[in-house]
Each structure stands twice: as C-alpha cells, then as structure tokens.
Amino acid sequence: MQKKPFFVSYFSEFLLAILLAVSCTMSAFSTGGFILNFREIGFSVLSTAQKGIGVVVHAVKNSVTAVSELSKLHKEYDLLVEKLKDYEYMQRTNMEIRKENARLKEQLEFSRSLEDKNYPANIISRGADNLYTVLVVDKGSRNGIKKNMPAIAIQNGSVGIVGKVVSVGYTTAQIMPLFDFNCTISARIQNTRDIGLVSGNGSDMLPLDLDYIKKHVIDELHFGDVVVTSGENDNYPADIPIGTISSTRVLDYDNSLAIEISPIIDFSRLETVIVVDQGRFNDKFKGEGGDD
C-alpha cells in the first residue's frame, strides 16, 4: 500500500500548532505582555551596559590617578636623592674641614714647641727629573727663609725630617727632600747609638739607605728600630726621626751592613712643612726626642 507524504499525513497537526501560536501571540499583544517584556529586556541590557561603563570609567580613573601619584612619587624621590647628595657633600666637606683643622692645630702646636724662628709653609708644587727632585713652598726670603735651613714636618702625630732648603726666592723656596739622590744626612740608630749616613734613592716610593753601620751590631738591630738625625755637622737638629729599619743584610765584600729605612714622613700625602732656623731650634724638644 502506498504511503502518504509526511506533510500530508501531519497537515492537520501543523495547522493546529500554527493556529495556537497565532492565538497566543494575539493574546499577548492584547494584554501588553510583549511590550512589558521588551521594556524589561531593554532596561536589563541598559543597566548592564551602564554598570560595565561605570566599571571601565572607575578603572580608567584609578589608572590615571595611579599614574599621577607615581609621577609625583618619582619627583619626590628625585628631590630626596638630590637632598641626600647635598647632605653627603656637606658631610664630606665638614669632615675635610675637621681634618684640615686638626692637621693645622697639630702643626701649630708643634711650631709653638720650637723657638720663634720657624716658618710653617705650604707645598705649592713638586718638580722632578732624573737628577733632581724638589718641593716648592710658598715662603721665601721675605719671610726669613735661607738656604740650607732644615725642613721638618708633623704627620699623624709623628715628627720627621723632610729635607733642606736648596734655593730661595723672594716669595718661594725649594726644598730637596731626603729621598733625593743628592741628600745625605748624618744619622744615628736610636737604641744602639751607632752613627751612619742616610741617603735617598731618587723616589719617595723607594726605601732610604743607611750606610757605615758595622756588622758586629747586627744582633742588636731589630725591624722597626728608629733612626734619627745625629745633629753632627750642624746640618739638621739632633734626634729628629728619619725613618725605621725595614731590612738588614750582611755583605760579604763589605765591613758594613746594608740597611734599608722606611721614611717616617709619607711624602705622597705631605702638604705642609716647617722650615727651622737651626740656631734657634728648641733645646727642650731635642731633649724630649732623645733617649727614652
């Protein structure tokens, strides 16, 4: 038996469904239900959109505020950094001033321990070549400085020989330091009282040489023993420290020891000297600087 088409078999059911749908729609329009639903949907959508826009605006506002605050913090940080630099600079300056005052006070007190005829002077330049080395100071003949006057210094609480005046101008003078090749000083080992000659090796980076100390005293010498000026020949005041023994060697071909000395004065940091009138040097100080 031949089947009827699907549409034909269920035509009445389709027609009934369509009629029911049309009837419900007409009923909804007549009671205002659809209008109410559209209004609710529109309000819901609008509310959601407004909330979303509010969240976005709030987030943007917070971001702008955060950026502004961050920029302000950066400026405040930069300002604080500059103030800190200024503070550190002031601290360094104050520390340097305190050191300078302490150094000048130390020099002044030492100068007063000498007779009136002494001349504190600042080193204003340093000259050197292969044969000759000088320290130039800012005092000259108009201040009373003369050739061959000894120069001493006080550094970190220690007194030491610097050298002697070799040339004098009206406002400046040249001092040959004890490490110069041409500088020779009559010296004495403080604890044994043996006399020798101290000479330089041309550089403040090299030790000084102490010659003419006999071999038989080697057992009496120790590292760090102080070597002072002997006061002989009237070249330098007596018992002013020159340096300390840093090494001692026995030479087979010589009756004398080879002794090296580290200078008391650190010439690389030396800024001021005191030029002394030898004839007026304080005898009291010489007594204090002698044997303990």
Q: With a cut of 70, which residues of the chain have pLDDT below it?
A: 1-64, 85-116, 128-132, 234, 279-292
Q: Which residues neighbour 68 within 8 Å (Cβ) at sequence distance 6 or greater?
A: none
User: Residue 34: what pLDDT?
Assistant: 47
User: Residue 129: what pLDDT?
Assistant: 57
User: Residue 151: what pLDDT?
Assistant: 94
Phi, psi of 100 (to 5 degrees): -65, -40
pTM of this structure: 0.59
User: Residue 75: what pLDDT?
Assistant: 78
Report residue 65 as tokens: 């505020």
CA–CA gap between residue 259 and residue 221 (Å, rounded):
10
User: Residue 113: what pLDDT?
Assistant: 54
